[in-house]
Amino acid sequence: MDISDIATQDYVEVDAEERLGKVRSLFEESNPKGVIVTRAGGAEYVGVITQKQLLSSHIEENTRAASIANPEGNAPKLTRTEDVRDAARKLVEGGSKVAPVFEADQLWGVLTEDDLLEAVIDNLDALTVSDIYTEDVITVGEDDNVGVVINRLRERGVSRLPVLDDDGDLTGVVTTYDLVEFVTRDIEKTTRGDRRGEIERMLDLPVYDVMSSPVQTTTPETDVEDAVRVMLENDYAGLIVTPAGDATTVVGVITKTDVLRALSYTEEEHMDVQITNIDLLDTISREDVRDGIEKVAGKYSKMTVQHAHVRFHEHKERLRGTPLIQCQIRLRTNKGQAAGTGEGYGADNAFYMALDTLERNVLEKKGIQSDEEYQGQLLRKLGEL
Cis peptide upstream of residue 220 (ω within 30 degrees of 0):
no
Question: What would the CATH number be for the domain defined by 3-113?
Answer: 3.10.580.10
127-255 folds as: CBS-domain (3.10.580)
Q: What is the structure's pLDDT at 199? A: 63
- The predicted model gives 76-99 an average pLDDT of 83
Nearest of 225, 229, 231, 226 to residue 263 by alpha carbon: 225
End-to-end CA distance of the chain: 61
209, pLDDT greater than 80:
yes
Q: What span, in angstroms and rounded, lies between the C-alpha atoms of 266 and 207?
A: 40
The most confident of the ranges 50-64, 193-207, 247-261 is 247-261
Q: What is the structure's pLDDT at 372? A: 47
Domains 3-113 and 127-255 share a fold: yes
Q: What is the structure's pLDDT at 29? A: 79
94, pLDDT greater than 50:
yes
Locate the domains of the chain by residue range: 3-113, 127-255, 265-376
Among the listed ranges 89-93, 124-128, 325-329, which one has the minimum average pLDDT value? 89-93
95, pLDDT greater than 80:
no
Q: What is the structure's pLDDT at 378? A: 45
Q: Torsion over CA of 257, 223, 248 and 211, rounded to 10 degrees?
A: 40
Name the residue with higher pLDDT: 370 or 47.
Answer: 47
Question: Is residue 382 very low, low, confident or very high in pLDDT (cuts 50, 70, 90)?
Answer: very low
Q: What is the structure's pLDDT at 28? A: 76
Mean pLDDT over the full length of the chain: 81
Tens-digit pLDDT profile for residues 7-39: 888 888 888 898 888 888 888 777 777 888 888
379, pLDDT greater than 60:
no
Among the listed ranges 14-18, 160-164, 285-289, 333-337, which one has the minimum average pLDDT value? 333-337
Q: Above pLDDT 90, what percent of the chain?
A: 23
E-only strand ranges, 180-261: 217-218, 238-241, 252-255
Q: What superfamily does domain 265-376 belong to in CATH?
A: Ribosome hibernation promotion factor-like (3.30.160.100)
Among the listed ranges 21-25, 56-60, 256-260, 276-280, which one has the minimum average pLDDT value? 56-60
Read out DSSP for 5-53? Answer: GT-BS---EEETTSBHHHHHHHHHHH--S-EEEEETTTTEEEEEE-TGG
Q: Above pLDDT 70, what percent of the chain?
A: 83
Q: What is the structure's pLDDT at 116? A: 92
Q: What is the structure's pLDDT at 123? A: 85
Q: What is the structure's pLDDT at 243? A: 94
